[in-house]
Structure 1
Amino acid sequence: MLSEHLELIETIGLNLFFVVIFFFIGMSIHDVMKKNDVPKKGKMVVYLVLFLGCAGFIAKGVIQIIWESNGIG
């Protein structure tokens, strides 16, 4: 049974890994900006870039699901 669902388990594990990595990256960036007294505008730019990186992975996942459901990939 485990071998039948191994690909699904790997996909879920990889996605959770990305969530954890982005969380730790966000926390470390927040800590560095807090210690260096970064202005509010700079913080907004940094968080926007981090969000766009996360959005790229989410978009990749959505596109992959759509393509696989249509038989393309």
Structure 2
Amino acid sequence: MTGKLTPQQAIDKATELYEGAVARLRAALEAFVTKGTTPDPKARKRGDFCYPLLRLKYQPDGPVPPLSRAFAKLSEPG
């Protein structure tokens, strides 16, 4: 997915992708446990069981603010 999303749109899309992957994985596991059916190899190649990628673009209007914490910070534009 490309383009600019609002924070809420990004959360909604990530949630949709995550829930779809969980549902597909749950169905595949259920089929394996109850019938011994393994997933179609194409499903894995399609990324049917993958979690969504979340990529942020950070473009500050000025210099990057100094922060002392080591996590949950955007230390450089990109």
Supply the RMSD in Å over aligned alpha carbons: 2.9
- Within 5 Å, give how 1:1-73 maps onto structure 2: 7-37=6-36, 49=44, 54=50, 57-58=52-53, 61=54, 64-65=55-56, 68-69=57-58, 70-71=77-78
Larger fraction in helix:
1
Give the aligned residue type for 2:36: D
Greater RCO, CA 8 A, separation 6+: 2
1:5-59 CA distance string (max 9 Å, x none): x711110000111111111011100111112235xxx68xx8xx59x7525x33x
Identity of aligned residues (%): 8
Separation in 1, partners of 2:34, 2:50: 24
| Structure 2 residues not aligned, in runs of 5+ | 59-76
TM-score by length of 1: 0.50
TM-score by length of 2: 0.48
Match of 2:66 in 1: none
Runs of 4+ deviating beyond 3 Å: none
